[in-house]
Amino acid sequence: LLALTSYMVNAQTKIIAHRGFSGIAPENSLSAFEKAIEIGAEYFELDIHKTKDDSLVVIHDAAVDRTASENAKGKIAEMTYKELSAVNIGNPSKFGDQFKDEKIITLREALALAKGKIKVCIEIKVYGAEEEVIRTINELGVNDEVIIFSFYYPVLAKIRSLDKNIPILYLISAADATTFDYANVIHANAIGVGSKTNITKEFLAEAHQAGLEVWRWTVDEEEQMKELIGLGIDGLISNFPDKAMKIKKEM
Ligand code: G3P
Ligand code: CA
């Protein structure tokens, strides 16, 4: 309880680099994570899926098609780690040849890079990865440097059953008062809401009253950043964390 309580004390908005600093580097790539570290963001966020041979890899979609540079196709769950690790994700149509060697990485590699430098939001996009996620975190000794995200409530319930202290954020697009109850059942620390949730001072106060922080994804417009930071949002997730950090500093 003590650990959870101290986590909740929040004076300032935390700025999170969405899929790494993905405004200037390929999403969910080592370079995007390095760039988040370089600007001193407090966290980067990443998404994970599980390969056919049970490796946890960092990628948003359930298939490689959208983010692969070279016409690679295939579902992550049907590909081996070896096959996936050969897929290039340099996104030349957006970034030219700047990131021509960029490859899909594992959760372990991302956490090893981050250790001691930045905290990591691990969004679990798949069922059946919970034990391996906790094992990886424990092996690297980064329990105090991560927070687990998911839209899948049973995934978060399982994470909580495996680890009673690890910070959890329950992702939900349109939150309402019942969300707080659900979040509390699994002792979540925060909820992560999207644009369908109307964030007001009252909403934030109610969440805080229920012992929950409120983080908002994914905010790239400066006006909106100002408004949310002004309201006292607890976490702001952006593809351009540099802009949000600057705004926060000037407020
Ligand atoms: O951080 C939450 C946000 O990343 C959820 O949406 O689609 O970007 O994973 P998505
Ligand atoms: Ca995500």
What tens digit of pLDDT does each residue of 11-40 get? 599 999 999 999 999 999 999 999 999 999
User: In angstroms, how far apart are the furthest CA atoms of the chain?
Assistant: 50
Distance CA 183, CA 130 (A): 18
Predicted interface score ipTM higher than 0.90: yes
Tokens of 208: 């805080």
pLDDT at 8 over 50: no
Q: Hey, whose CA ends up nearest to atom 5 of ligand 1?
A: 217
Question: What burial class does residue 210 get, using C-beta atoms within 10 Å of its C-beta: 0-12 exposed, 13-18 middle, 19+ buried?
Answer: middle
Q: Clarify whether 18 is annotated catalytic.
A: yes
Q: Indicate the average pLDDT of the chain.
A: 95
**194 C-alpha vs ligand 1 centroid, how far in Å?**
9
So what's the pLDDT on residue 11? 57
AA identity, residue 91: N
Residues with CB under 5 Å of ion ligand 2 are: 47, 123
Are the beta carbons of 20 and 46 closer than 8 angstroms? yes
Distance CA 3, CA 203 (A): 25
CATH number (3.40.50.1100, 3.40.50.300, 1.10.274.100, 3.20.20.190) of 2-48+120-250 reads 3.20.20.190
